[in-house]
Structure 1
């Protein structure tokens, strides 16, 4: 009936008389005959429009446009009313923190690590650990226990669109919490910016303060667990290295006892010195023998004695060389090489054991100490005004979006109508 009433109004408006009799007649008919009588007579007046196909088509087109405009106006009014009057106002508290590593031995060492990129890489890793922990289910459960977040998310303090459903799952509640928490890491400065929104400004500040107090403990606990795992591994390696060191030392000791030598290298040096002396003596005796044989008889006692001394010296020299580099199993050079090999193995095992011992003691300290700290650069603030929604910006965006959508819809409708005609 509304459609017919509007079309009759337009029809009379386009008439030559320009008189809008529909309202007057309908009111008079309603007063005299009631609603049914008014409806029956409105149907009779509408027959005039149906008889004229051109006018009816024109009125139908106008009515279709009116419905479209009315629909968009309703949508705009709903969005405007929700944004300006119904949407929950959220207060944002923010803080800036920095993860610092206290294990750096000195500022110079820390500067060197930063230049090489190791320091910034460690800081980035720690900051990412903090970010993941803040967004984790563990942190959300701690906050829910302290501040009843799930109950708040489902309460009427949030508008009917924003609030969490009463039968929402834990995953949905966690996603809702993560949407309220914004974390931004600045790689240039190494600062971690934290933002949290809540309907109560005091609660927003308290929640950020609670996060900061918990995250430092969690970060150190994470590092302690990591150090404990490394400690267990190093303890096993320490025991293995100690056993190898004891075994190699025992082998070296048994080898020394077997050959009755404390250090074969000193005996080798002594043997080399003896050989050198014997060679020098032999050379002198040969020269002396050759010189005296020029003026003495070959059977002379002095020449015979020199010849005997030369032979004895040659025999002693041959024995000394045979003991040092001969084919005997107990020759000195073989004993020396085997000894040096066992000695090097023992020294190598000792060095490995010493390194394992240093690592073991270092990790024992790492398990006990607080290696990481969370420095608060800017404390969580108490917001004095809501941050969301940004009503002026939302209003302008809403108008532009509605006009854009309406223009596109109208253009498509016109194309479809032209195609049908």
Structure 2
């Protein structure tokens, strides 16, 4: 592709009143204007008006530049200057130039304004391609923008850019521009230049060498084909890996579930553990605690027992759990070996016996899976009976422990009270009196009375002796009464002393009797407390009674519940897909870390 050589043009006004022939006017700078490809230039000579006609000096047009090959990028050529003319002493030099029309001047101004917009090279190339698509013939990329805007077309609109996208295989209509023939060329000095037009009227012979644009298009097409080939190869390998690691295992799993797996029948039952509600309000907080919270520990213990190896062994002894799952018609994956160990049987037991407990409702849900529906229902009933026995044993042990302690305490208190009572009776028999304190009190009363009488006699004797001539008979009588009273007081005091001193005295016997009576009273209180405690323990034991109530009885199923063919197949697909995804991501990360 060649363009027209660049030459300088000088714009001058058509109507000039007078031109001066001074050196300043001759050397005034003129604005260079690029000549469009389709316009023709004509040299004119303008002379200042003089009184006498002056001969005009002939001017020569610069020789046109030689056409260059498409593979070369011509550089802008400087216009050739006219040979110097012979100066004449009295003749004003003629000014030479080209006159542009108003339309050309307006186009140049528009192009200058577009050039100052700061458009990128990609935008300019897009504008050239849009102009060629609309049948315009721009001389440059800026001229293409100007022509498109003159027709009311936005060269940078997204829809116009998308219309320029062509297939990479070079499938263009005959005569359609390829979009690369007018791209700006890059010079050896690594600077951009505007595209140039091809000289009109010049014949061009076909060449075997490809232009840089066509070579670039061919290389881009080869790269695109190579990228597409590699993408198809990678996609094929991906499909092969997915088919081997995901599709094939999923197919095998689905084939097993649909064709080989033995149908299993599930029997469901619900039961709950409740306590005695008759004495629920005996305690201060008995009516505040819900039943499910009171029996929470018992329900958890029952659930653990039904899932234990002990329950499996009892079920095997009663109904032959191992023998049922060792039958020949069961598929190999779900079948036990001929002589299975307890551990192998327990794995199958945990897989086929599922027990769940809901603490909010207090309900225990049981699901038993077996190869035959009647066997499954029988297994469920037997497990419920095991749970009922376990609940009874748990509550019975607790009740017996409480009642045992209370009963032992009561019996001990009763025995101690009996011993205290026997000791009191023995003391009373040994002292030959029932109440030593009463005897001592009677002695003290007698002594007091005798002392009072003795004091009265002494007063009476003193009154008789105060007379001048007392009656001797009365005086002797009073003295005899006083002697007898003193003798009686002496005996009473002696008896009192004997009762207060010695181990067998009445005082000691009274003290022993008081201690025995106090011990008996304390034993009575202890016996009463033990009796009350035993009654309370009996009430608590009655509250500890647990009952297992079956809410949903086990019923044999008529249709197989397992395996769930579609759900299990989908689950297998998701599992294998997840495993493949994890492995592929791990491999990609490791490969990236190694190659980085």
1:179 equivalent in structure 2: 351
Where does residue 50 of structure 2 map in the other structure? Answer: none
Aligned to 1:159: 331
CA deviation vs aligned residue, 1:264-300 (integer Å, no higher than 9, x gap): xx331342354246436635754x3575466442794
Question: Measured at CA, do residues 107 and 244 of structure 1 come closer, stay the same or move farther in structure 2, by a change above 3 Å?
Answer: closer
CA drift at 1:73: 2.6
Secondary structure class of the residue paired with 1:165: coil
CA apart distance, 1:417: 2.7
Q: Contact 2:416–2:523 at 8 Å: present in 1 too?
A: yes
Which piece of structure 1 moves more, 197-206 or 128-137? 128-137
Conserved? CA contact 1:271–1:320, under 8 Å: no
Q: CA distance change for structure 1 residues 420 and 121 in 2, over 3 Å: closer, same or farther?
A: closer
Q: Give yes or no for contact 1:157–1:199 (8 Å, CA) kept in 2.
A: no
Q: Given the superposition, is the C-alpha separation of residues 307 and 148 from structure 1 closer, same or farther in structure 2, using an over 3 Å criterion? A: same
**Structure label with greater radius of gyration:** 2
Q: 1:219 to 1:340 in 2, by over 3 A?
A: farther
2:588 to 389, 411, 414: 414
Q: For residues 227-269 of structure 1, what are the alpha-carbon distances to aligned partners after superposition, in whole Å with 9 as ceiling and x for unaligned?
A: 89999999999998898777666655544443334x4xx3313
CA gap 1:275/1:417 in 2 versus in 1, 3 angstroms: same
Report deviation, 1:390. Answer: 4.6
Give how far 1:170 is off. Answer: 1.6
Query: What's 2:266 paired with?
Result: 92
Q: Which has the higher contact order (CA 8 A, sep 6+)?
A: 1
Match of 2:508 in 1: 334
Q: Does 1:71 align with 2:240?
A: no
The alignment of Structure 1 onto Structure 2 pairs a total of residues equal to 353
C-alpha distance in structure 2 between counterparts of 1:195 and 1:337, whole Å: 76
Per-residue deviation, 1:150 = 0.6
Counterpart Cα distance in 2 of 1:78 and 1:189: 42
1:130 is displaced (CA, Å) by 4.0
Aligned to 1:297: 465
| Cα distance, 1:344 vs structure 2 | 5.7
Please provide the CA RMSD for this pair.
5.2
Structure 1's 189 and 282: CA in aligned 2 closer, same or farther, altered over 3 A?
Answer: farther
Alignment of 1:150-299 (within 5 A): 150-213=322-385, 215-216=387-388, 220=392, 252-261=424-433, 263=434, 266-276=435-445, 278-279=447-448, 282-283=451-452, 286=455, 288=456, 292=460, 295-297=463-465
Distance in 1, matches of 2:268 and 2:283, equals: 30
Of 154-163 and 309-318, more deviation after overlay is shown by 309-318
**8 A Cα contact 1:282 1:313, kept in partner:** no
Query: Which consecutive unaligned segments of at least 5 residues does structure 2 have?
Result: 1-168, 170-226, 467-471
Question: Do 1:183 and 1:195's aligned partners in 2 also have CA atoms closer than 8 Å?
Answer: yes
Distance 1:128 1:331 in 2: 71
Q: Evaluate the alpha carbon distance shift between residue 349 and residue 147 of structure 1 in structure 2; reply closer, same or farther with a 3 A threshold.
A: same
Q: Contact (CA 8 Å) 1:90, 1:199: kept in 2 or not?
A: yes
Distance 1:334 1:190 in 2: 69
Match of 2:557 among 352, 372, 383: 383
CA distance in 1, matches of 2:274, 2:368: 23
TM-score (norm 2): 0.46
Contact 2:263–2:371 (Cα < 8 Å) also in 1? yes
- 1:378 Cα deviation from its structure 2 partner: 2.4
Per the alignment, in what secondary structure is the counterpart of residue 270 of structure 2? strand
